[in-house]
Structure 1
Amino acid sequence: MTKAESQPIERIAELASSSAAALLAALPHTAAAASDDVLLDAAGRLAELHRATEAALGVTAAELTVRSTRAVGADTLAACHGEKNAVGLLQLVTRMSAPAAKRLVEYGENIVDRDTLTGAPLPPARQHVAEAAFTGKVDAESVVPVLRVLDEVAHRADPDLMDAAEQGMMRIASESTPERTRTELRTWQAALDQDGARPREEDQRRSRSFRIGRELPDGMTPVSGRLTPDAASRLRAAISTFMNPRSRPTFLSEEEQAKLDELEAGLPEGLGAEQLDPRTRDQKMHDILDGLVTSGHRSAAESEGSRREMTQVIASVTLDELQNGDGVAWIDGMLEPLGPVTTERIRCDAGYRKLLLGTDGDILCLGDKVEFFTAKQKLAIAARDGGCAWPGCDAPASWCEVHHVKLRRDGVKTDVGNGMLLCSAHHHVLHAQGWVVEMRGGIPHLQAPLWMNPSGGWIRLGRNRAQVARRRRAGDSAAQPP
């Protein structure tokens, strides 16, 4: 028995308490004065303390589990304190989360010495894991995924290969991050359980799911699910493509694209990328997913080159509201009425129908669809713009809606010269923030609201491939926007 093994748990608790008190007493409220080397060294040493603390907590959690499952008299230790099991008891004492407590119990059970029913000593369930834990090389976060895979394949894998895998994985876990450990674990899993790949694949197929929840009181709809590895890979790849700021749909050569970028550069002074696209990363991912669904829906709905409408908007108005344009709108399949900005955005692309109500709510008339771009008009605008016209946006045409530069109520017709492509996110920004669009020589130009752009400068929009090609043929690389 080593000196460490001879220490009772009371001594470990005393060391933990005195160490915590000493650390807190010496802890500054900021590390700003430290040099880079000192700061990095401190982080490494504190991580050592964390791993040592996790090993001690694992040993304690393992014994709590034993005493919470073997009844002493009428009640287990957990029951005596009003808890169902060791996980709940550990939460009660440590104030950690249930997943963290469960992980520590699993960690501890695999690293402590064991006894047979007769009291004879047994080695730890996982000797290589125990060695790494008691030398402070690993923590529960990196070890528990390894333990679960080893347990899963234990009855099928070769014992010698199992031992090599455990030893190899502890070496990786002691030198790298939990993310790297999980990546390497997949390789060992395939080597240990070659016959198990097919059953695992079938299990994944059976457990795949996607759910659209009930509409919440705030009008939002939750989604949840589990993707198979191949489906998740495709979704990640699709989202990554459009999250990458360097990724752009390419219609021109690099030289031509560079010249076009110069033509479309020159934002008004004081107007930066954060004003042009104020979305968070999560909001961008939402909009990319919406664009992918939109594109797939339109592709499935194509008929003889036309694009069928995506969403129908019915504006429900009273006689008075019909005059001042304050009607509330609904879309197919949703209980939540649309706000005026969203209504205006969808109306731009798909038009709308007016439901005329009497003063008592009775239906007087459901009108024909008005103010909508035809399928051929949409195709023509898509061919002209090539994608979302908003500065710096790379959304392809199949994701986009058509924005009315001027509405029919302003005396302007719905035609190609009055439309421009915008993705749903930037279409919403345009309507919500009061941006102004003008068509100049058939090219849309954008002006930010005055509170954002006091200089009042204009931004030339779009990637008009036909016009750029004409300019290239004419050799007018320095041509300015009209």
Structure 2
Amino acid sequence: MKPLLEHLDDLASLVDSARAGSEVSTLPDAELVEALTAVGRLQRRVEALLIDAVDEVAARSATPFVGDRLTSRFGCHDVNELVQRTTLVAPQTASRVTRAARAVCGERALVSGEALEPLFPAVRAALDAGAVGVDGVLAATTEILTAGRRVGRDERLFADQALADVALGCGPDAAPPVCADLLRVQAHAWATAIDQDGAEPKEALQAHKRGVTLGTPGLHGVPVRGMLLPEVAAQFQQICDALLSPRAGVRFDTPEHDDDQGASDSDAPTSGPADTRTRAQKQHDALATALGVAAASRQLPTVGGAAPTLVVSVREEDLSRDSGHAYVDALGVPVSLGAARHVACRGVTQRISLDDAGRIRRLGTEERVFNKHQRRAIALRDGGCLIPGCSVPAAWCEIHHVDEHARGGATHTDNGVLLCWFHHRFLDTHGWSIRMDQGVPLVKAPRWYDPGRGWRAVTRSPTRLRSRVLRT
């Protein structure tokens, strides 16, 4: 019988020959897809062998005497470390292979060392047939294993067979084999159906593990890690979906004054500008919006007798020169002057004069930025975020001083426009320009979006849009 290592050397040589003998980039579409399918089959079979090898390493490292363990003899702390060193994978990948081995490789008999029936024999058969790999094994078994003793042996084996049939493409509906993600959906349905105690034990575990931690501020920002309860995550997802929905298109009103030699309304774009943010960046901005709305709601407990308030401090001379840093008091880290202007524009400002020694010479009163009556009027005029294509509604928007408040801009409806958190925070860097013309906001788009770069009146207000229709 040919030794296993020789077979593996032959397989590696065959793969190298296949790569050297055919350029993937030259394959026709149909052949490329067939090649990708064949590579997937080969990968799953190799992963089956990897699972067997890791299971054997685990069995030889399960002795009570540390010095007798295989891992110890090769200078490794545990199985995970040995898998990392030998296969050059990340710790998470090594852990996934080890968990897959526990699910589809039987434990060893204490006396004979013989392998017993695995927890999921049908999924094991699907692994041997090349229908699933590590991802598929974990997708089919993880949720049921999490239920533990709440799932009886007969129920587990019944679900095991049903999931294996789905993976092999021989289920009752004769559907073709499914990918790991769809297999996970099926496994979740089985786990909830056969778990006798329902969701309560899992909910208790989730409640115990919940938490959010802010890391140490670094070069790229403040890291966030933690675990959300499902209903909290769902609520956050709903907020993200509401704020990030691309349901609103561009709305240009007819400008009464246009002193640019730019385009007329007939040149206006007819679809929203491209949003280059990643999904993660959009969800960050949605969280920032939700936090701002919550802080302004006056429904939160007070801190030191006042509502939770983000305090950003900056020297007046730095702000006037547009050079230097501002500081967020809660974290004590420097932020840009743009961040300081953004916070001041949407909240209140208070001027404090210090002498050279640091003594407080004058303590100014808080200057409220726009009051609720002004906000209602501006919301009626603008209808939502002023940037064309943005769908954030008026209630979630902030009010931006077109002429900066820090430079003497008036807190008046003729100087305020609605902007969402993202467009307000990064207005200076994204190429959009805003000006007021007799109390009507006009927007100039970036050149990549509107080559004519004309000033255009923009609105999402139903009342103004109806008036526009009636005028035509």
Same fold per TM (> 0.5)?
A: yes
Contact 1:146 1:185 in 2 (8 A): yes
| In structure 1, distance between residues paired with 2:192 and 2:319 | 66
Match of 2:379 among 379, 382, 387: 382
Structure 1 pair 435–61 and aligned structure 2 pair: CA distance change class (3 A)? closer
* Partner residue in 2 for 1:82: 75
Structure 2-normalised TM-score?
Answer: 0.83
* Partner residue in 2 for 1:181: 183
User: Which one-letter code corresponds to 2:90 in the other structure?
Assistant: S
Contact 1:403 1:422 in 2 (8 A): yes
Identity over aligned pairs, percent: 27
Greater shift, 332-341 or 403-412, is seen at 403-412
The RMSD of aligned alpha carbons is 3.4
* Partner residue in 2 for 1:291: 289
**2:354 is equivalent to residue 357 of structure 1:** yes
* Partner residue in 2 for 1:168: 162
| In structure 1, distance between residues paired with 2:308 and 2:409 | 22
Structure 1 pair 367–202 and aligned structure 2 pair: CA distance change class (3 A)? same
| In structure 2, distance between residues paired with 1:238 and 1:438 | 30
Per the TM alignment, residue 331 of structure 1 is displaced from its structure 2 partner at its CA by 4.5
* Partner residue in 2 for 1:446: 443
Per the TM alignment, residue 391 of structure 1 is displaced from its structure 2 partner at its CA by 1.0
**3-state SS of the aligned residue for 1:337?**
strand
User: Which one-letter code corresponds to 1:209 in the other structure?
Assistant: G
Structure 1 pair 180–435 and aligned structure 2 pair: CA distance change class (3 A)? closer
Per the TM alignment, residue 54 of structure 1 is displaced from its structure 2 partner at its CA by 0.9
* Partner residue in 2 for 1:22: 14
Contact 1:381 1:416 in 2 (8 A): yes
Task: Report Cα offsets for 1:32-70 as digits up to 9, x if no partner.
Answer: 221121111111111111111111111111111122223
**3-state SS of the aligned residue for 1:273?**
coil
User: Which one-letter code corresponds to 1:406 in the other structure?
Assistant: D
Per the TM alignment, residue 465 of structure 1 is displaced from its structure 2 partner at its CA by 3.5
Structure 1-normalised TM-score?
Answer: 0.81
Structure 1 pair 294–133 and aligned structure 2 pair: CA distance change class (3 A)? same
Contact 1:355 1:365 in 2 (8 A): yes
* Partner residue in 2 for 1:336: 333
Structure 1 pair 339–14 and aligned structure 2 pair: CA distance change class (3 A)? same
Structure 1 pair 347–63 and aligned structure 2 pair: CA distance change class (3 A)? same
| In structure 2, distance between residues paired with 1:382 and 1:68 | 68
Per the TM alignment, residue 211 of structure 1 is displaced from its structure 2 partner at its CA by 2.7
User: Which one-letter code corresponds to 1:273 in the other structure?
Assistant: P
| In structure 1, distance between residues paired with 2:238 and 2:359 | 51
Structure 1 pair 327–361 and aligned structure 2 pair: CA distance change class (3 A)? farther
Structure 1 pair 199–387 and aligned structure 2 pair: CA distance change class (3 A)? same
Per the TM alignment, residue 356 of structure 1 is displaced from its structure 2 partner at its CA by 2.1
Count of residues in correspondence between the two structures: 447
Per the TM alignment, residue 123 of structure 1 is displaced from its structure 2 partner at its CA by 4.2
Structure 1 pair 409–86 and aligned structure 2 pair: CA distance change class (3 A)? closer
* Partner residue in 2 for 1:95: 88
Structure 1 pair 394–118 and aligned structure 2 pair: CA distance change class (3 A)? same
**3-state SS of the aligned residue for 1:70?**
coil
- The within-5 A match list for 1:382-421 is 382-407=379-404, 413-421=410-418
| In structure 2, distance between residues paired with 1:381 and 1:437 | 15
Contact 1:384 1:465 in 2 (8 A): no
Structure 1 pair 360–455 and aligned structure 2 pair: CA distance change class (3 A)? farther
Greater shift, 338-347 or 393-402, is seen at 338-347
| In structure 2, distance between residues paired with 1:153 and 1:73 | 31
Per the TM alignment, residue 209 of structure 1 is displaced from its structure 2 partner at its CA by 1.9
User: Which one-letter code corresponds to 1:23 in the other structure?
Assistant: V
**3-state SS of the aligned residue for 2:297?**
helix
Match of 1:58 among 51, 71, 87: 51
Structure 1 pair 241–173 and aligned structure 2 pair: CA distance change class (3 A)? farther
Per the TM alignment, residue 278 of structure 1 is displaced from its structure 2 partner at its CA by 4.1
Contact 1:110 1:124 in 2 (8 A): no
Q: What 5-or-longer segments of structure 1 have no aligned partner?
A: 1-6, 249-256, 303-307
| In structure 2, distance between residues paired with 1:329 and 1:113 | 61
- The within-5 A match list for 1:72-151 is 74-112=67-105, 115-119=108-112, 121=114, 123-125=116-118, 126-151=120-145
* Partner residue in 2 for 1:47: 40
* Partner residue in 2 for 1:273: 273
Task: Report Cα offsets for 1:419-463 as digits up to 9, x if no partner.
Answer: 111112112332345643222243211224679877442232222
**3-state SS of the aligned residue for 2:418?**
strand
* Partner residue in 2 for 1:4: none
